[in-house]
Amino acid sequence: MGNDSLKSIIKNRRTTRQFIKKAIPQEQMKDLVWAAYGHTHTYKDMKMRTAPSPGAKYAVDIFVSLERVDGIQDGIYVYDTAIEDLRLVKAGEFHDLLCVAALDQKFFAVSNVNIYMVYNPSRIVPDYGSNAAKYSAMECGHIGQNVLLMATSLGLGAVPVGAFDSNAINDMLGLAEGRETVYIISIGAIS
């Protein structure tokens, strides 16, 4: 039998696109990012994360765009797993640009946090070859569900998104050749 609290969170998880333009606390943003790829324990000198990864290759990079998060500069960040914190990539407001790159899905313009799962083949292809992309897609699914459940537990709205112009998003994030955004979770304050 599962934990009643977890069962309640799973039962109450909803996809919502009805965000309101209101700031969220920095602590909520940190909880969302931790749920995506935070350190949970160490095994054989390796930092293990919240989401399972084939062979512990962790072939997904986590990028985050933020607007209206108390005490945090608006911008695009990468989650640096070595220091367990966000590192600023580009300062500024990017959610209107994201809205256009994501086929005019309006909720992006009022979102607070967008979590981008970026496939980094250099970490997994040498060991898993032609199965690497499939395994990394599975990892993205685990990360996504963690983020969606954390958003629910925090009383935030969230929507998983796969419909977007990959090239435009990759350019916005400043990704190196060969890396690709495969999945986005958009999160925002709700009434």
Tell me the pairing of strands 85-91 and 113-119: unpaired
What would the pLDDT profile of 98-130 be if each residue is shown by its tens digit?
999 999 999 999 999 999 999 999 999 999 999
pLDDT of residue 59: 95
pLDDT of residue 170: 97
Q: Where are the domains of the chain?
A: 18-188
Does domain 18-188 match CATH 3.40.109.10? yes
Q: Are 20 and 190 in contact (CB under 8 A)?
A: yes
pLDDT of residue 1: 40
The CA distance from 9 to 162, in Å, is 23
pLDDT of residue 26: 97
What would the pLDDT profile of 39-95 be if each residue is shown by its tens digit?
999 999 888 999 999 999 999 999 999 999 999 999 999 999 989 999 999 999 999
Residue 82 Cα to chain centre, angstroms: 17
For 144-165, what is the mean pLDDT? 97
pLDDT of residue 159: 98
Q: Which residue has the tokens 């990864």?
A: 53
Q: What is the band of 3 on the pLDDT scale with cuts at 50, 70, 90?
A: low
The CA distance from 6 to 158, in Å, is 17
